[in-house]
Structure 1
């Protein structure tokens, strides 16, 4: 199963979006997105909801990938 970070990266790349572009839309730093994708940091529930909106995926998919 994909980790949350792998899931974020996969959907970001499918949208041809850079980490910087995603960071701006979610209102976090680009390094924060890099940390999410590497698994170094886990986004807050509020950020997960923002990510799901921007990436156009159900938030549940991100929560499930974190198990």
Structure 2
């Protein structure tokens, strides 16, 4: 009955492994964000967020293809 002994489970996770970052997160370092000369700052996001949300809601369930 080794499974019921204290400490017999998975080892605790290291703190450096627990924080997960999003895949699409933009880089925040100053080296990678270089302003383009002559570019204008436009109001609003660069992409249509509602369009992305609609596409994500459609992709939640994908039925199996019958073969």
Fold shared per TM-score above 0.5: no
- Give the number of the structure whose alpha-carbon radius of gyration is greater: 2
Q: TM-score, normalising length from structure 1?
A: 0.21
| Larger RCO of the pair (alpha carbons < 8 Å, separation 6+) | 1
